[in-house]
Amino acid sequence: MKKYLWKNKRGYSAVNVIMCVLVILLTFSLLIEITFLGKRYSYMAQTTTYVSRIIGEQGGIQTSTPSGYMDPSLYTKSSRLYSTLNSGFSKAGFDTWAVYIDDVKLKSSTRLSFPEKTLIPIRIRAGFYPIFKFNSRSNRLVYIETERNVYSSFTPRTSDIDLIK
């Protein structure tokens, strides 16, 4: 009986071909997943830099341009920042996202003001579902989180400037 099993190898090449095709498909899907993951990490780094520059340069975020700001047309309001980030995160393939400025979640109505030379912690957390679902664990969100600290470089003036004579 043992000799018969060793001599009869008719389905061996078909099984080899099927296994090779499965391995190639899994490798290809893994490469695609890693490519998309790299793009998402890159987007998170760019977004963190963008948000930290705005918050640091403006001394916070307001719903309207504060008085005393150098050029009111260049001020980024909280509603504009929120909508820009919302469209950017959806284009980058994220399903959920949150921006925390000094542990306050960014919304379209967020009002935060920081005095000059104040350290402002900024944290961004975004989640996405994997593209290829190989098993039941793929239905969970994968989170990427970035943090950056920035110093405030603008203080909104609420009164007139006193000139020294």
pTM value? 0.76
Q: Facing residues of 9 across strands?
A: none
Whether residue 4 lies inside any domain: the answer is no
Q: Cβ(85)–Cβ(55) under 8 Å?
A: no
Task: Provide the residue-wise pLDDT of the chain in tens; the chain has 165 residues.
Answer: 555 555 666 667 778 889 999 999 989 988 988 898 899 999 999 999 999 999 998 888 988 888 777 778 888 899 999 999 999 999 998 999 999 999 999 999 989 988 888 899 999 999 998 877 666 555 788 899 999 999 988 765 555 555 454
What angle do the packed helices 12-58 and 78-91 form, to 10 degrees? 170
First and final C-alpha spacing in the chain:
112
Count of domains for the chain: 1
Output the pLDDT for position 6: 56
Domain assignment present for residue 163? The answer is no
DSSP state of 132: S
Q: Which residue has the tokens 């977004």?
A: 47
* Cα 47 from chain centre: 7
* Beta carbons of 144 and 41 less than 8 angstroms apart: yes
> Nearest to residue 99, comparing CAs of 124, 121, 74, 116?
124
What local confidence, expressed as pLDDT, does residue 66 receive? 81
Residues pairing with 104 in the sheet: 101
5 in a structural domain: no
Q: How far is CA 131 from CA 22, 87, 135, 136, in A?
A: 18, 20, 12, 13
Residue 121 lies in a domain: yes
Q: How far apart are CA 74 and CA 79, in angstroms?
A: 14
> Which residues constitute the domain of residue 69?
12-151
Domain assignment of residue 20, yes or no: yes
Residue the block writes with tokens 């039941």: 136
* Assigned domain for 55 exists: yes
Residue 162 falls within a domain, yes or no? no
Q: Would residue 53 count as lying in a domain?
A: yes
Which of 37, 51, 41 minimizes the C-alpha distance to 80? 51
Query: Residue 158: its pLDDT value, please?
Result: 53
